[in-house]
Every structure is written in structure tokens, then in C-alpha cells.
Amino acid sequence: MTAPGPSSAEGLAATFAALGDPRRLAIISRLQDEGALSVSCLSEGADVSRQAISKHLKTLSEARLVSSVKSGRETRYNLEPARLEAANAFLVQVAAKWDQALQRLKLQLE
Amino acid sequence: MTAPGPSSAEGLAATFAALGDPRRLAIISRLQDEGALSVSCLSEGADVSRQAISKHLKTLSEARLVSSVKSGRETRYNLEPARLEAANAFLVQVAAKWDQALQRLKLQLE
DNA sequence: GCTATACGCAACCTAATTGTTGCACGTTTG
DNA sequence: CAAACGTGCAACAATTAGGTTGCGTATAGC
């Protein structure tokens, strides 16, 4: 499996796709608030099974949005901000070009 | 159809999901570079049919990432940056909390 | 050693996504 | 008016995503 780079169109789309699920966003929020957590811990409050959460973590892990460290019989998952920053950079760039377009429009009207 | 707000978990996930496709990212890039474009124009260079592009535009439109204006027999699609900024805000917030966590870790080590 | 815990993997089901083709309808244009 | 253009909608097939259940394996604790 050749993992696509974080800034290519495919890699970027994969990052956004991984972010495109309410449960995964909730997982990210919890990891952001509480630090590294295990699958069982993340599954406690959820309304789906542990395996569902585990699948979501696998998705996030394949998108390089989280990393996992095994510690005894537990596996702790943690945020991995690199891809988040790549996604952020894309959105910032689009917003910047949008502002440029607005500026040009403004100049044309004057 | 009750449209979810842009900052709710569902609305945010819907925004990211709409961004999570290479063709839709390509459409956004073209709209960003060339301004408002029609379906036919966007379909010319693509390797899929015009209807496929039209469906992607519908997806982007339902996610409020683009808006459409009918002009004669053409329909021009343009970027709508509000949701992009909401998505951006989420990523920035996650990154900020990540930095806070690093700072705390650093202080603990000292 | 034995039991309970934590986890991943595989099979299966259902629903959603992505793409295609064909058609209908309004708008230009000759 | 008639032909061509631009578009959207419906039906269909193929793939993917999200979820469940059951099972196997390794670690922790009594």
C-alpha cells in the first residue's frame, strides 16, 4: 500500500473524509480534551459497540490523524496533528484566494 | 428537512464529508482559481460524465460549500466560504488545544 | 494456573455513495 | 419553427461505509 502524501489531492481528500463523520469528530474532541485514551474508555459513553469505535479508530489511524501505542493489554490512541495542519493549510489557502477575489471585485467597482 | 447548523457536530461532519472526495476538491480548486463556472465547463477536463460532476456539485451545494445562480440556460456555481471557515475554526481550535497540551507537558518536565 | 479484561480480525447485513445511461424541459440560435 | 445547447431528474449497477455478532489471542490479577 503506497500511502499518498498529505498534501496531494488524494491524501487531502482522505484526511477530510476521515473527519467527515460525527462519531470520529467526537473521538477527536475527546482525545483533544482528555489526552490519550483506550478503546474501551472511548466506547463507554458511546451508543454503539466497542468494535464500531475500534473501526473508527482504525480509519483515523489510517488517515494518520491518530497514533496508537500499545501498553500492556491496552492500546492508547492519541492525536497526530500533522494531517490536521495540512487540512488547515488547504482551507486557509482557499479562504485567502477568496479574499483576493473579493479585493479584485472591489477594485473593479471603484 | 432541518438543516443542521454549521458548528454542530453533524453539520461540521457533513462539511468535512463533502470535502472528502478528490473530485470535489478539484472542483473547489477550479472555482477558487477561475471564479464561477458552469457544469459543462467543469466537466470538460474531467474523466467522468457531466452528470457525475453535476451530482458532486449537488453534494457541495447541499453542504453549503457552493452556491448556484441560474443565468439563461446556464447555471453558474461559485464558492461559499462560510462553511469552509467553520471547518477551519474547528481545526484551529484542535491545533490550539494540542499546543496547550504540549505546553503543559513541557512545564511538567521542568 | 485460571479467570477476567482489552483488543483485533473475519463474516455478514444494510444503507449510502459513486458512477452510468436515458429522457424531459427550458433556452438560444439559425 | 426547428435544431442544438445546458441542465436536472429517475432508474439502475457496483462499490464502499458503518454496524453487529462471534471468535481468537495476549495481558493482568487472584
Q: Is B2 contained in some domain? A: no
Q: Quote the CA–CA distance of A106 and A89 in Å, as a whole number.
A: 26
Q: Is A42 contained in some domain? A: yes
Instruction: Identify the pLDDT of residue A25.
Output: 97
Q: Is A105 contained in some domain? A: yes
How does pLDDT run across A18-58, given as a tens digit for each residue?
Answer: 999 999 999 999 999 999 999 999 999 899 999 999 999 99
Distance in Å, residue B72 CA to nucleotide C26 C1':
9
The domain that contains B52 carries what CATH number?
1.10.10.10
Distance in Å, residue A50 CA to nucleotide D30 C1':
26
Q: Is B1 contained in some domain? A: no
Q: Is A3 contained in some domain? A: no
B14 to A26: CB separation less than 8 angstroms, yes or no: no
Answer for the pair B76, B69: CB distance below 8 angstroms, yes or no.
yes
Domain that holds residue B40: 9-109
Q: Is B4 contained in some domain? A: no
How does pLDDT run across B13-61, given as a tens digit for each residue?
Answer: 999 999 999 999 999 999 999 999 999 999 998 999 999 999 999 999 9
A4: confidence class by pLDDT, cuts 50, 70, 90: low
Our count of domains for chain A comes to 1
B6: left (phi over 0), alpha (psi -120 to 50) or beta: alpha
